[in-house]
Chains A and B, each alone.
Chain A
Amino acid sequence: MNVTLKVWRQKNADEAGYFETLEARNLNPDMSFLEMLDVVNNELEADNKMPVAFDHDCREGICGTCSLTINGQPHGPGEGVASCQVYMRSFKDGDTITIEPFRAKPFPVIRDLVVDRTAFDKIIQSGGFVTVRTGSAPDANAIPIPKETADLAMDAAACIGCGACVAACKNASAMLFVAAKASQLNMLPQGKAEKDTRVLKMVATMDEAGFGNCTNQYECSAACPKLISEDFIGQMNRDYLFASLRQKFLRRKKNA
């Protein structure tokens, strides 16, 4: 099969980007989308042209590195898949496919389709962890956790931090990512001690980074390759509300 690609080309964050039209010929419909790009890049290199830069690593949907917006859809067509799990059979012969990077102010373009998602790392550094004593590992079942809670925490922990939620959100909000990362720890006994400071700090860091605000349209969870539910945003809103009240009225120190 043959398709026409409209690819976003941008030298770096400071220079203006533009769309370049490239032809992808003689494709196997069972190729993955990234393999198709590999083929296109091989041809570009053979012609002594600059290949299209795109992020990829595991290519099996668990690392969260790939980050393509295909025809305006972060991670392209299909539910619960990352860009690397999109196959050419999802398109028709002769289609024109628009490929763009994840677009958000806190995700500046490094080159072409590669964006800098350091903002996510900063959010994790501000509270997406539990403080534990080093030493020998604790007994596996020393702290009993109800199965339902463990399952729900696991659902939140499925987040691979790709940033599709931000890319899909009409407002470039990072609420789903932050909610998933905060909730997975807030729900478990190990994360309870730092629950309030965690949610307050992570939300503050998110706001500082310049992400937009949530307007409850749930585009995020629809685009999420792990289909993380917007319920976690509701949970984070609740946790944030109580944490703010407790901090205000119990006069807790900000960094306690």
Chain B
Amino acid sequence: MALTGLILVLFVIGHLIGNLQIFAEPEVINQYAHFLHSLGPLLWLVRAFLLITVILHVWMAVLLVIENRKARPQGYEGEHTHRASYASRTMQYIGIIVLAFILFHLAHFTLRVTHPEYEQLRYVLQEGAYQGTEVLDVHAMMVMGFQKPLVSLFYIFAVGLLAFHLRHGFGSIFQTLGLRNKYWAGTIEKTTITFAVAYFLLNAAIPLSVMSGVVDNENVNSIGESAEVLTLPEDASSESTE
């Protein structure tokens, strides 16, 4: 749990840093996205590694829950909790909801099966080695996605749950790996809470900025609502760079 959790924590930190580039001009995040896509096989290797990590994390969690339930066939009449945090007692339930969100999230943005109109959002890179290359406009895609209040609310709710999951998980890693003792316990606890809160706020800032209009995208505005009724051009169904 701890090892896979650690990998996933590192991933969500990286993912968040990547996403925060939405606050810069569209060029930045589109360059970044194109850089990731240009990795080719390496990208798929990383994706496979992450997928295996998620599967292992879930599998271990299922085993953990089954074994732990078996260890106490008869529960207590007067159930009492001394100090186990609410987050720690809901890890498995919130984990399932977060998993459902990840699946939706992948379908939404990575595979784009739920929103084929995203393919029409094109962007021509202005700088660097890939100057002039036409790519999928990730910035516009994010803005378009989050302009729908329901999507934004669901996203904020989901990252809130994930932050809550991490509120127990982050600190737990140290104890399981034997890196916690009385000298470090306080620091680890404070870091965990700070991390969970910061993770939630920074993630929630993205949809909130889009909804409030702080972050906007010209590409989305020019396509406007017509994008949803347009049929897909043939050449736009796959990315020009792949």
The chain A residues found within 8 Å of chain B, CB to CB, are 6, 8, 17, 19, 69, 71-73, 98, 100, 103-106, 168, 170-173, 210-219, 222-223, 229-231, 233-241
Contacts and interface: CB of A to CB of B under 8 A. Distances in A.
B222 interface: no
Contact of A237 (B67, B85, B178): B178
A73 B79 CA distance: 8
Given A171-B72, A229-B182, A241-B177, 20 more contacts: A69-B76, A69-B78, A71-B80, A72-B78, A72-B80, A73-B78, A73-B80, A98-B78, A103-B76, A170-B68, A171-B67, A172-B71, A214-B176, A215-B64, A215-B172, A217-B85, A222-B83, A231-B182, A231-B185, A240-B178
B225 interface: no
Nearest to A215: B88
21 contacts: A17-B74, A71-B78, A71-B80, A73-B78, A100-B78, A103-B74, A105-B71, A170-B68, A171-B67, A171-B68, A171-B72, A212-B67, A215-B88, A216-B168, A216-B176, A217-B84, A217-B89, A219-B82, A219-B83, A234-B181, A238-B179
Interface of B: 64, 67-68, 70-85, 88-89, 91, 168, 171-172, 174-182, 185
Chain B interface mostly helix, strand, loop or mixed?
loop
Nearest to B171: A216
A105 B73 contact: yes
Nearest to A230: B175
A24 B82 CA distance: 27
Contacts of B73: 105
A210 B76 contact: no
Contact of A210 (B71, B75, B81, B84): B71
A171 B66 CA distance: 10
B166 to A, nearest CB: 13
Contacts, number: 109
Nearest to A96: B78
A210 B70 contact: yes
B79 A72 contact: yes
A93 B2 CA distance: 47
B68 A234 contact: no
A172 B71 CA distance: 6
Contacts of A236: 178
A216 B89 CA distance: 10
A33 to B, nearest CB: 15
A231 B174 CA distance: 11
A207 to B, nearest CB: 9
A215 B85 CA distance: 11
B178 to A, nearest CB: 3
Contact of B71 (A168, A211, A229): A211
From B68, B71, B172, name the one whose CB has the most chain A CB atoms within 10 angstroms: B71
Contacts of B78: 69, 71-73, 98, 100
Nearest to A238: B178
Contacts of A173: 68, 71
Contacts of A212: 67-68, 70-72
A82 B83 CA distance: 18
A167 B82 CA distance: 12
From B78, B172, B180, B185, name the one whose CB has the most chain A CB atoms within 10 angstroms: B78
A215 B67 CA distance: 12
A72 B77 contact: yes
A61 B83 CA distance: 23
B172 A216 contact: yes
B70 A72 contact: no
A100 B77 contact: yes
B84 A219 contact: yes
Nearest to B74: A103
A55 B37 CA distance: 67
A227 B174 CA distance: 21
A69 B75 CA distance: 12
Nearest to A220: B82
Nearest to A98: B78
Contacts of B68: 170-173, 212-213, 215
A16 to B, nearest CB: 9
B88 A217 contact: yes
A236 B185 CA distance: 16
Contact of A171 (B71, B76, B82): B71
